[in-house]
Amino acid sequence: MENEKSPADILKDIAKRADWEFNIREKKISVRHGHTIREVLIKNLDIKDSYFVSVQSTNFDKFSIYSGLFFPISGYDNYKLLVRKRNQLDKLSFRKNKLRFKIGNSSFDSKVYIETNNDIETHKLLSSSKIQFNIIEYLNSTDCRYIGFNEINPKFNKELEGKKFLSVFMALGWMLDKRKIDTSIKLGELLRSKFNQNN
């Protein structure tokens, strides 16, 4: 339909209603094929050092399209973390099961798949039952949800350059529901406060 709003327009409306700062950058790569890079940056000025970022790029990787909350964290430059919902392939793969990090709580470990390069820091971050409950609730809300650190570090805006980010995001689409955005903010703030306690 001609009057159907684009994802960027929907986010602009959400930002306007919430009194959030909205910026968009669009660049046409191929007019013939309709390929466009879109990068949206939204700031909720009530939450210090947080960015709602949505990107549609022409990269050929698993995060060519993503959307979510990004929180800059200092002091963990080499730390890597990716948390996602555990799927059937994970359960069937002996190698994947052997390599993944487990927190030690079977009800949590059976539902999530964790990749990390630092078991000690990851255990500190995820050992709280409150954090585990919120992570499972977030990952179960829809497919393609992730929690990461140093997994995606956007830099298309000068404010984002040179920083390492804790991210609560979705892939293969944009987060276009205010409630889902608010849930991501809540979980991101909870994880950020844990990072700050550990630092």
pLDDT, tens digit (0-9, with 9 covering 90-100), for 19-72: 999 999 988 766 555 577 899 999 998 998 999 999 998 877 788 999 999 999
CA distance 97 to 39: 36
What's residue 1's pLDDT? Answer: 46
What distance in Å separates the CA atoms of residue 68 and residue 167, rounded to the nearest whole number?
7
Tokens of 71: 């929180």
- At residue 196, the pLDDT reads 83
pLDDT at 65: 93
**What pLDDT score was predicted for residue 143?**
80
For the stretch 134-142, contacts whose Cβ atoms lie closer than 8 Å and that sit 24 or more positions apart, written own/partner, are 134/186, 134/187, 134/190, 135/83, 135/108, 135/187, 136/108, 136/111, 136/112, 138/168, 138/183, 138/184, 138/187, 139/83, 139/84, 139/85, 139/111, 139/112, 140/85, 140/111, 141/180, 141/183, 142/170, 142/180
Higher pLDDT: 96 or 62? It is 62
> Which among 61, 15, 58, 21 has a CA at the least distance from the CA of 38?
58
Confidence (pLDDT) at 146? 96
126-143 mean pLDDT: 92
Q: What is the pLDDT of residue 181?
A: 94
Q: Tell me the mean pLDDT in the region 11-18.
A: 96
pLDDT of residue 131: 95
Residue 94 scores a pLDDT above 80: no
Domain residue ranges of the chain, discontinuous segments joined by +:
7-198
Question: Which pLDDT band holds residue 77 (cuts at 50, 70, 90)?
Answer: confident
96 vs 146, residue with greater confidence = 146
